[in-house]
């Protein structure tokens, strides 16, 4: 099977989307399929990677996005797809690349749209508070999602929360959870040297790995630290990530025990940070899955997540959720810290072990196989697989 995946907002400092594309590609290749990624970048490029062929289309930076790029040369993307001749198309984008669903329809190519975020959540996050009551946010999201559902063979959501806005309009949606690398992210990667470098012996080490953007609500983590200090808790918050609100967040954290690492390059270093922390935070209220939270669980580190997001279902008994402001977050953090450390770390790891990447890859291939059979019939689908393996 020849699988193409196109996406915006993919770059050296991007998190969950980049990881998901790479892990899907690695899994597809392991199962003898071909995989093409088409992504934005500063220059055109064509590379072969451990997770498939990657074609980069030069694209402008989106203002106020923290450096993310959006492909505007759609004709160049179509040319790459025509040359590759995919059997199925995956799209991870609600902006300029969404129109490729129609391209696939016109050629009889089954297509899958990944709903990595909720349209209503993104619109609300960037609508001024004074305008939210008057703005038709739900209606706008519904209209956007109806068009999306019409243009793709299937809509893929990573959680029931992500699927909710498609359920709301009666559009078919399939839920396929993402996964985690259970070897890369493991409790054994805890590093005493890393801990000594980041926190005093009597400080609780709290970690937040997140893009520092408005919709991620990183200020909740900073304010929770401020509240914990007033309660006599010695904590050190370590933030890994960059983004559009980094300067404002650094100003807010002035005088507090908060360390900003910036973008952490290297998955191994990130895994050591997660495994070394006593606790991780995922404050984003519109997270539809939260790969960093799942990676923390795999590292044996419990996570406090936003109760409004999809993450309470992801972390399960491996963490806790908080609704509201700094006091509620401090309460949830204290409740976890007051529990038995060995038990909470074991629960975190056990929850992550239920979500390996292999299950995600198998589920996606089953969906693609069914779509091919429905579009072309069983004989054509079998021949396509045989052609790849020869």
Three-state helix/strand/coil letters over the chain: CEEEEEECCCCCCCCHHHHHHHHHHHHHHHCCCEEEEEEEECCCEEEEECCEEEEEEECCECCCCCCCECCCCHHHHHHHHHHHCCCEEEEECCCHHHHHHHHHHHCCCCEEEEECCCHHHHHHHCCCHHHHCCCCHHHHHHHHHHHHHHHCCEEEECCHHHHHHHHCCCCCCEECCCCECCCCCCHHHCCHHHHHHHCCCCCEEEEEECCCCHHHCCHHHHHHHHHHHHCCCCEEEEEECCCCCHHHHHHHCCCCCEEEEECCCCHHHHHHHHHHCCEEEECCCCCCCCHHHHHHHHCCCCEEEECCCCHHHHHHHHEEEECCCHHHHHHHHHHHHCCCHHHHHHHHHHHHCCCEHHHHHHHHHHHHHHHHHHHHCHHHHHHHHHHHHC
For 262, residues 6+ apart whose C-beta sits below 8 A from its C-beta are 240, 241, 242
Domain borders along the chain are 2-179+356-389, 187-352
The confidence score (pLDDT) of residue 387 equals: 43
pTM of the full structure: 0.89
The confidence score (pLDDT) of residue 277 equals: 98
The confidence score (pLDDT) of residue 124 equals: 79
Q: Which CATH number fits domain 2-179+356-389: 3.40.50.2000, 3.40.50.150, 3.30.1360.200, 3.30.565.10?
A: 3.40.50.2000
Q: Place 134 in a pLDDT band, splitting at 50, 70 and 90.
A: low
User: What is the dotted CATH code of the domain comprising 187-352?
Assistant: 3.40.50.2000
Q: Is 62 exposed, middle or buried (0-12, 13-18, 19+ CB in 10 A)?
A: middle
Instruction: Report whether pLDDT(115) > 80.
Output: yes
Q: Place 386 in a pLDDT band, splitting at 50, 70 and 90.
A: very low
Instruction: Report whether pLDDT(390) > 70.
Output: no
Query: What's the pLDDT tens digit per position in 167-211?
Result: 999 999 999 999 999 999 999 999 999 999 999 999 999 999 998
Report the share of the chain in percent with pLDDT over 90.
Answer: 82
Instruction: Report whether pLDDT(358) > 80.
Output: yes
Other CB atoms within 10 A of residue 208 CB = 28
Q: Do the domains at 2-179+356-389 and 187-352 have one common CATH topology?
A: yes
Other CB atoms within 10 A of residue 368 CB = 24
């Amino acid at each position: 099977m020849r699988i193409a995946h196109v996406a915006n907002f993919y770059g050296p400092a991007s998190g969950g989307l980049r990881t998901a594309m790479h892990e899907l590609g690695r899994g597809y290749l392991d199962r003898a399929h071909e995989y093409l990624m088409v992504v934005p970048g500063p220059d055109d490029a064509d590379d072969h990677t451990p997770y498939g062929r990657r074609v980069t289309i030069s694209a402008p930076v989106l203002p106020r996005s923290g450096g993310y790029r959006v492909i505007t040369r759609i004709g160049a993307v179509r040319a790459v797809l025509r040359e590759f001749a995919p059997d199925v198309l995956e799209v991870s984008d609600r902006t300029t690349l969404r129109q490729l669903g129609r391209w696939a329809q016109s050629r009889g190519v089954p297509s899958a749209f990944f709903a990595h975020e909720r349209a209503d959540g993104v619109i609300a996050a960037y609508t001024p508070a004074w305008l939210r009551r008057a703005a038709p946010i739900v209606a706008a999201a519904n209209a956007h999602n109806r068009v999306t559902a019409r243009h793709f063979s299937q809509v893929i959501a990573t959680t029931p929360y992500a699927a909710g806005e498609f359920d709301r309009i009666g559009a078919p949606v399939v839920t396929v959870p993402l996964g985690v690398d259970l070897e890369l992210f493991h409790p054994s990667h805890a590093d005493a040297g890393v801990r000594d470098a980041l926190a005093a012996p009597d400080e609780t080490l709290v970690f937040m790995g997140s893009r520092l953007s408005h919709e991620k609500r990183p200020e909740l983590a900073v304010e929770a630290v401020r509240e914990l200090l007033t309660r006599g808790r010695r904590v050190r918050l370590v933030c890994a990530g960059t983004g559009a609100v980094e300067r404002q967040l650094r100003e807010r954290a002035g005088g507090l025990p908060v360390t900003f690492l910036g973008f952490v390059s290297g998955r191994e270093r990130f895994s050591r940070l997660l495994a070394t922390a006593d606790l991780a935070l995922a404050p984003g209220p519109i997270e539809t899955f939260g790969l960093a939270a799942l990676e923390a669980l795999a590292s044996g580190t419990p996570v406090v997540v936003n109760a409004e997001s999809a993450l309470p279902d992801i972390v399960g008994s491996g963490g806790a959720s908080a609704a509201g402001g700094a006091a509620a977050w401090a309460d949830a953090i204290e409740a976890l810290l007051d529990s038995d450390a060995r038990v909470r770390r074991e629960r975190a790891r056990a929850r992550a072990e239920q979500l390996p990447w292999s299950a995600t890859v198998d589920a996606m291939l089953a969906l693609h196989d069914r779509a091919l059979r429905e579009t072309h019939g069983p004989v054509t689908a079998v021949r396509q697989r045989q052609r790849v393996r020869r």
